[in-house]
Structure 1
Amino acid sequence: MKRDICAIVVELALLLQDPESYKTFLAYRGPGAQGLLDILQDVLDLDAFAVVKPLICKALLRLCRASGLYPRCFVLTELEKIGDQVAAGGFGDIWKGVIHKRSVCVKVMRLFKDSDIQALLKEFGREALIWRQFCHPNLLPFFGVYYLGNRLCLVSPWMENGTITEFLRDEPDADRLSLILDVALGLQYLHEQNVVHGDLKAINILVTPSQRACIGDFGLASIINTMSVRFTHSTGNVRGGTARYQAPELFKGIPSHFGSDVYAFACTCYEILTGRVPFHELPNDVTVMFKVIEGNRPSRPEACSGTAALDSLWKLLETCWDGEAEKRPNAAQIVKRLEGLSLRGSTAASATDWDEKFTSKFRRSLHDKPLLPSVAQIERLIFGDGESSV
C-alpha cells in the first residue's frame, strides 16, 4: 500500500507540473472535482511527501477556487446555535457558537452587497484550505466550515482568555517570555510547512486555557512552493498586513516572506512586553511607514531594561528588525536563542486545550473510505460485475 501511494503521489506531482495536464485538472467540475479534492486532501493528511506538499496544496486551492467546492471532510453540520456577536473585522464578524455543549468561535463572512458573495467565498475558502493543513499546539486548530444561508463560516475553538493583549491586561504577572516562545514555536512550524503568515500581531494571537499562546487568523497566509513558483492568495497586489508590523522591504512592493514574518514577530514581542503597539507615539500608519523606511525601529522602554535576560531579549528583537532581510534570524534560530542559556525560556506544561474530536482532521480519520480502492473494486472497474466485461 505504501509503495502504491508513493507511486500515485509521484504521478500526481508530474501531472501538476505539466501545463496541459494542469489545465485539464482545473477544468473539472461537479462530482469529478469533488473526488479530486477529496483525494488531494487525503494525500495531504498523510503528513508525508514534504517536498511535493506545497505543490499539492496549491492544486487543492486552485481547484477549490475554480469549482466552488471543498473536500467533504471540511463541512460541519452539527453547529447547534450561534449566540451573540462578540467582535467585528474587515471581512468577517466573530460570533460565539455551540457544538455538543462546547463553545466555539464562528467567523462569519460579512456581506456588503450581493456582488461580494463570490469574491468573499473564495477568500474565506482559501483561508480555510490553508488553515486546515496545520496541526500544532501553538496554532489555533480548524474545526471546519459551516454554511449559514449563503454565508460561509469558519469554526474554531472558543478561547475564553481572548487575545494575548486582553489576557496580559487581566494577568499582568503572566510569564511573557513563555508566551513569546510559544509564538516563536508556532512561527517555526508555519515556516517548516513553507507557509508565510503575513499578518502576525498581538491581536491575531490567542491564549489557551492552559495559558499557551497560539497563532490564528490565516487570511493573509501564503505558501512557498518549493517545486515551482511562489503563489499567494491573489494574482493582484499580494501585500497585506498592518503597517506598524511590516518590514521595510514590504513598503517597496516586495511580497511577504519568511523574513518579514520574523520582523513582525519582533514587533509582536514588543507589544507583549510593553502592552503598546509598535510606534504608539506616532499618529498614523503613513508616518510609521516613512520612519521604518528611514531605518527607525520601536524605541526601547524602561520595562525592557535592567536585567541580563532583558538585554539579551532586546538584542534578539534588534536582529529581527534588521533592515536587510537576509541578516535576520530564521524562526528556528529564534527558538534556539529563546531556549538558550541567556534566556532559558520554557513553554507552559502540555495540556489538552481543545477537543481533538471536533477537528476536521480527526473527523476525516473516522471515515471508512480508504485512500486507494481495493483489488476487488479495481477488478469490478475493469471487468464489470461478472456478467459482462469492459
Structure 2
Amino acid sequence: MLRIPGKLDLNNQVDRDISLVPLRGTRALVYPGNLRLSGRKVAIKVFRFGPPTSEQALKRIYREVASWRELHHRNILPFLGMTTQFDYTISLVSEWAAKGNAFDYVQSQAVDPRPLLIGIANGLDYLHGRKIIHGDLRGHNVMVSEDGQAMITDYGVSSLVDAEFDQNAAISAPGGRSIRWVAPESMESYGEVSIQGDVWTFGMTILELFTRQPPFYYISGLRAVIGRIMDGQPDRPNGPATCFRMTDAWWNLCCLCWARDPWQRPSMPDIIRIIERMCADFYEIRGFLLNMLPPCFVFQVYFPLR
C-alpha cells in the first residue's frame, strides 16, 4: 500500500474505541475515537471492504481526499485525515458530531427540520461551487453539531469508493436505503452522479426530514422502489406533524427539485434564494399578525433560524 501523504497521514495518531457498537453504513463502519496528542474526539470511518490494489487508484484517492481537507464551511463536517491502521483497509477520520446524524436527530417532534435544511442548502452550494458532487445526500450523511448546526459529510465518497475500491464488494454492498433518494436519470445511467442529481436528493432530504421517514418508506423491495421513482415524484405527505411545518412553499420547492428533466431543476444558489424569500415572507406575516393582535394575546411561532 502506498504511504499516505504527510498532511493526510494520521497513522499512529488516532485511537479507536471498540467498546461501543459502531454505526453501520452501506460502505463503512463508523467508530468513535480520539486523537492521541490532543484527546480530541473524532469519527473513524472504516471501509467494509479491502483497499484498492492498484497504485493508480490509491493515488487518485489520496488526491481526492486531500482536496476535502481544504474545505472550510460551517455546514461541512471537517475532514481531518486518513489512516491504514484498522482492519487492513483505508479509514477516513473526521470531526465528531455531538448530536449524531440529522435523520436520528429529527425523530424528536420538538426538533424543527427547517434550520437544518437551510444549513444543508448552504453546505451543498459550497460543495458545488468547488465542483464537488456529493452523490449520496440524505439525513444519515448530515451530522449535527452541539449547537444544532447541520454539517454535510461523506461528500464525494460515493463515487470515489464505487470507482476505486474493490468493485465486487461495492456492488454487493446493501445500497437499498440510499436508492430511495436517487434521481431517475441515475437509474438509467448506472449510478452516474451530477450536480442536478444532488438537487433531486436535496428535495428528497427535505421530504425525509419533514416526515421523519425515508422516501417511499411505505414501499418495500428494491424493484418496487425503483419502479415508483421512475413513475414520478412522491405524493405529498398528509401527516399532521408534517403538515404543521411543511407549508405549500416548502412542498413547491421539493417539486422544483424533482423536475424530471435534470436541466429544469434549480441550482443551489436558486434554492437558497427561494428559501430566503420564504423566510422573509414568514417574518413579514408574523410581524403583521403581531401588530393586529390585542395586547392580551400572546402569539408565538416556532421557527428558530440560527
The interval holding the TM-score normalised by the smaller chain is: 0.7 to 0.9
For the 8 Å contact 2:33–2:44, the answer to whether it is kept is yes
Cα 1:172/1:316, change in 2 over 3 Å: same
Give the superposition deviation at 1:190: 0.7
Q: How does 1:183-198 map to 2 (within 5 A)?
A: 183-198=120-135
Letter in 1 for 2:2: G
Extract unaligned runs of 5+ from structure 2: 284-302
Q: How does 1:148-159 map to 2 (within 5 A)?
A: 148=85, 150-159=88-97
Query: Percentage identity across aligned positions?
Result: 25
Q: What residue number does 2:281 align with?
A: 342
Q: 1:292 aligns with which of 206, 229, 244?
A: 229
For the 8 Å contact 1:181–1:346, the answer to whether it is kept is no
Q: What residue number does 2:15 align with?
A: 81
For the 8 Å contact 1:95–1:107, the answer to whether it is kept is yes
Give the superposition deviation at 1:101: 2.1
Give the superposition deviation at 1:91: 3.6
Q: Aligned partners of 1:289, 1:110: CA distance in 2, in Å?
A: 25
Q: How does 1:104-123 map to 2 (within 5 A)?
A: 104-111=42-49, 118=53, 122=58
Q: Aligned partners of 1:117, 1:220: CA distance in 2, in Å?
A: 15
Letter in 1 for 2:227: F
Extract unaligned runs of 5+ from structure 1: 1-66, 223-231, 349-390
TM-score, normalised to structure 2, is: 0.77
Give the superposition deviation at 1:111: 4.4
1:279-330 alpha-carbon deviations (Å, 9 max, x no partner):
11111222121122122424322344367x7111111111111111111111
1:38-81 alpha-carbon deviations (Å, 9 max, x no partner):
xxxxxxxxxxxxxxxxxxxxxxxxxxxxx935432111256352
Q: Aligned partners of 2:242, 2:49: CA distance in 1, in Å?
A: 43
Helix, strand or coil: the match of 1:143?
strand
For the 8 Å contact 1:130–1:221, the answer to whether it is kept is no
Q: 2:255 aligns with which of 305, 318, 331?
A: 318
Q: Aligned partners of 2:257, 2:231: CA distance in 1, in Å?
A: 17
Q: How does 1:240-255 map to 2 (within 5 A)?
A: 242-253=178-189, 255=192
Q: Aligned partners of 2:54, 2:216: CA distance in 1, in Å?
A: 34
1:127-170 alpha-carbon deviations (Å, 9 max, x no partner):
6335223221111111111231643221111112111122122x
Which protein is bigger by CA-based radius of gyration? 1
Letter in 1 for 2:23: A
1:213-257 alpha-carbon deviations (Å, 9 max, x no partner):
1111131257xxxxxxxxx94599999972211111111116211
TM-score, normalised to structure 1, is: 0.61
Q: 1:136 aligns with which of 49, 73, 81?
A: 73
Q: What residue number does 2:209 align with?
A: 272
Letter in 1 for 2:188: K
Q: How does 1:1-390 map to 2 (within 5 A)?
A: 68-77=2-11, 79-84=13-18, 85-99=21-35, 100-111=38-49, 118=53, 122=58, 125=62, 128-148=65-85, 150-169=88-107, 171-218=108-155, 219-221=157-159, 233=163, 242-253=178-189, 255-302=192-239, 303-305=241-243, 310-340=247-277, 341-342=280-281, 347-348=305-306
Helix, strand or coil: the match of 2:106?
helix
Cα 1:126/1:86, change in 2 over 3 Å: farther
Aligned length: 268
For the 8 Å contact 2:80–2:93, the answer to whether it is kept is yes
Letter in 1 for 2:8: F
Please report the RMSD computed on the Cα atoms of aligned residues, expressed in angstroms. Answer: 3.2
For the 8 Å contact 1:108–1:152, the answer to whether it is kept is yes
